[in-house]
Amino acid sequence: MFRSQLDKRRTANLLLSHKKLDYDSSNPSCLRKEGATDKAFFTGVKVEEIEVSGVRVRFPIRYFDSSMIAASFPAPAAKVQEVLPSDKLKPVQVMPCTAAVALAAMEYRHIDGLAPYNEFGVMLPVVYQTADNIPGLPGLYVLHLPVTTEEARWGGVEIYGYPKFIAEISFEDAGEMRRCRIRAEGKDIITLEVKKPVSQPQSWELYTYTVKDGQLLRTLIQQQGQIGTSDVRGGASYTLGDHTIAEELRALGMDKTSVLHQYAPQSQSMLHLPGERLPL
């Protein structure tokens, strides 16, 4: 059990480092319907077009309409450290000797320059630290990131080094729960089920870590929209299948009881070019 408010705050920041927006969530005019786009979020953003392997791509990549479910599950810190690509990446510990595995399922319905696609992330909250006396750089190390379209896979791999592959990713609502199922090569990988907390307007940002060309890339993602977050234990669950990735996740020793769950019925985001290249 969590024994202090500090433990709870640390857990609540595993998936998203977020701050509330300045507008009043009690004002109905501030509440956006699904499919709506808050153009103010993108106002003033400098968009540049860059050629990547012969393809012109606009950055930051702007996601005008999306939704998400996510949850965080405890796992032994030693097991998590084993799958990290560098000793400089340290698992965030939510309790002594206990790290976390973050699972997030996204539906991207309207993207600048891309067809709609779905995505599922298996991510590890980490800090990049070169010395004990130097504050580290927080982020999410992306362990697996299946998507549903080839263009989404290609761009993620070619530009960011994201570990993307093609999979079937489907969503369904079941009362107060929302469920996402991931399959590949005719086998189940994982099914994630998340209770839907009450959402409110917020903005947040996070950084991802990936490996490309022998370096760690740290990439900023900015987001805003309707999101509900709860640290009530057990608000989400997962079921592993018979795919090889499911076996990898079993080996991490994830607890079956979630410590954080989130639901964002509608949001916008911007995926920037990698901002930092760090030694492994």
pLDDT band at 5 (very low <50, low <70, confident <90, very high): very low
Domain that holds residue 84: 5-31+40-279
Q: What average pLDDT does range 67-82 have in this prediction?
A: 98
Q: Are 159 and 141 spatial neighbours (Cβ–Cβ below 8 Å)?
A: no
87 phi/psi in degrees, rounded to 5 = -70, -15
Contacts of 113 (CB under 8 A, 6+ apart): 57, 58, 61
pLDDT band at 223 (very low <50, low <70, confident <90, very high): very high
pLDDT band at 53 (very low <50, low <70, confident <90, very high): confident
pLDDT in tens, 183-205: 999 999 999 999 999 999 999 99
pLDDT in tens, 117-173: 999 999 999 999 988 767 899 999 999 999 999 999 999 999 999 999 999 999 999
Supply the pLDDT for residue 131: 81
Q: What average pLDDT does range 45-58 have in this prediction?
A: 90
Supply the pLDDT for residue 17: 43
Structural domains counted in the chain:
1
Selection from 242, 276, 206, 208 nearest residue 17 by Cα: 206
pLDDT in tens, 77-124: 999 999 999 999 999 999 999 999 999 999 999 999 999 999 999 999
Supply the pLDDT for residue 250: 98
Supply the pLDDT for residue 55: 86
CATH of residue 107: 2.40.400.10
